[in-house]
Homo-oligomer: A and B are copies of this chain.
Amino acid sequence: MNLCGKKLRTRANAKYDPPGLHHCFREAGHDGACAEFPYLDHLKEVAPRVAAKIVRDATKTTGASWKSEDAGPNRISRWTMLLSDADLAKLGVNMKALKPWVIAKLREKAASYDDCMSAAQYLTWSVYGMTGAPAPDDATRAFITSRFGEVVPGATGCLVCRAPLHFALFEEARRGKAEIETAHAMPRSHTAGNVGFAHRNCNIAQGDKSLDQFYEWIAGILTRAGRI
Nearest CB of chain B from residue A207's CB, rounded to whole Å: 6
A163–B157 alpha-carbon span in the complex (Å):
30
User: Does B215 lie within 8 Å of A225, measured CB to CB?
Assistant: yes
A62–B76 alpha-carbon span in the complex (Å):
33
Interface size class of A (residues with CB under 8 A): 20 to 34
Name the residue on B nearest A223 (C-beta). B162
Whether a CB of chain B sits under 8 angstroms from the CB of A11 is no
Q: How many chain copies?
A: 2
User: Does A219 lie within 8 Å of B215, measured CB to CB?
Assistant: no
Main secondary structure of the interface of A (DSSP, over half): helix
User: Does A219 lie within 8 Å of B227, measured CB to CB?
Assistant: yes
Q: Which of A134-159 contact B (CB under 8 A)?
A: 157
User: Does B101 lie within 8 Å of A174, measured CB to CB?
Assistant: yes
Q: With A101-B174, A174-B101, A175-B101 as given contacts, are A222 and B215 in contact (CB-CB < 8 Å)?
A: yes
Nearest CB of chain B from residue A222's CB, rounded to whole Å: 6
Whether a CB of chain B sits under 8 angstroms from the CB of A160 is yes
> Chain A, 202-222, contact with B by CB distance < 8 Å: what is the 0/1 string?
101101000000010111111
Nearest CB of chain B from residue A83's CB, rounded to whole Å: 24
Name the residue on B nearest A201 (C-beta). B207
Q: Which of A173-228 contact B (CB under 8 A)?
A: 174-175, 201-202, 204-205, 207, 215, 217-222, 224-225, 227-228
